[in-house]
Amino acid sequence: MKILLTGANGMLAADIQRQMPYGIELSATDVDELDITNFAALDRFCSQCAPNAILNCAGYTAVDKAESDRTAAFAVNETGPANLACVCAVRGIPLVHISTDFVFNGDGSHLLAEDDTPEPRGVYAESKRAGELAIEHAGGSWLIVRTSWLFGLRGRNFPGTIMRLALERDTLTVVNDQTGSPTYTRDLAGAVWELIARRAAGYVHFCNQGVCSWFDFAREIVRQAQARELLPRDRTINILPVTSQHYRSPAPRPAYSAMSVARCAALTGRQPRRWQDALGDYLDECLKAAR
């Protein structure tokens, strides 16, 4: 099976490539090789590459910058997926697309299922939902995997930021009124490959098991990092809870966006592991890289 991977230089795509199953031929591209917002270029590339499926990991993810850069956000998050979906529909091949918990308004308190009604707030969220709808309306076969609070070895992420700041400061302030589920890109990549193998279609939610606030997440990062001596054990690092108003970010964030993984578990026959365990594996990988 030959798969065209877009957004290959990103954090999730790095683990997608590391966990590629036997028998898959992967054509990995990023914007320098293939601009998915250019339909003609994409169509030519697919004619030459002749993939059996496309896996789209490309995305505009600068949540706050999107508020003043609407055109760029919609180009990558709506026009790009629309182009990919059209190319796939014409060729009769499936599109696998990565989306986000941001498509929900975050006003509830229950685990969000695939059939809950999206209500995006902010330009980034609106652009991601627009991309989902463009894929739905293209008329081809598609799988959209929504995820949340990603962390991984490549690129900037919350655990890496917390550890860096903890080395610089004795006191950190972290938001305690946003609740969700952290997701290790290695676990998400494995789930994506399983879903592809099982020819899953429609919407599927994947995140690691468990619900926490960013404040809870930060405390666990520091605890586990100190246990592994990624942070000094003999230092007291104070983590103080604050509200979202403390930072006044340009873009709104969902207050509650934890998602149900029941459909993914039913499709794959496997429950995701707890986010605390996934975090431990991530930190072990960080420790190996530091040696």
What is the pLDDT, as a whole number, of residue 282? 97
Q: CB neighbours of 136 closer than 8 A, spacing ≥ 6?
A: 142
Q: Is 124 a catalytic residue?
A: yes
pLDDT class of 221 with cuts at 50, 70, 90: very high
The string of pLDDT tens digits covering residues 43-60 is: 999 999 999 999 999 999
Alpha helices of 198-274 — where are they, by DSSP H? 214-227, 262-268
pLDDT band (50, 70, 90) for residue 34: very high
Kindly report, residue by residue over 83-98, the tens digit of the pLDDT. Answer: 999 999 999 999 999 9
Percent over 90 (pLDDT), the chain: 95
On the question of pLDDT at 290 being above 90, the answer is: no
pLDDT at 53: 98
- State residue 216's pLDDT score: 98
pTM metric for this prediction:
0.96
What integer is the mean pLDDT of 31-45? 96
**What pLDDT, on a 0 to 100 scale, did the predictor assign at position 27?**
95
CB–CB of 285/153 below 8 Å?
yes
Q: Which of 60, 124, 184, 282 is catalytic?
A: 124
Could you give the domains of the chain? Answer: 2-157+181-211+256-274 (3.40.50.720)
Question: Which residue intervals of the chain are DSSP H helices?
Answer: 11-18, 39-49, 70-74, 80-91, 123-137, 158-168, 185-197, 214-227, 262-268, 275-290
Give tens-digit pLDDT for 129-165: 999 999 999 999 999 999 999 999 988 899 999 999 9
What's residue 154's pLDDT?
87
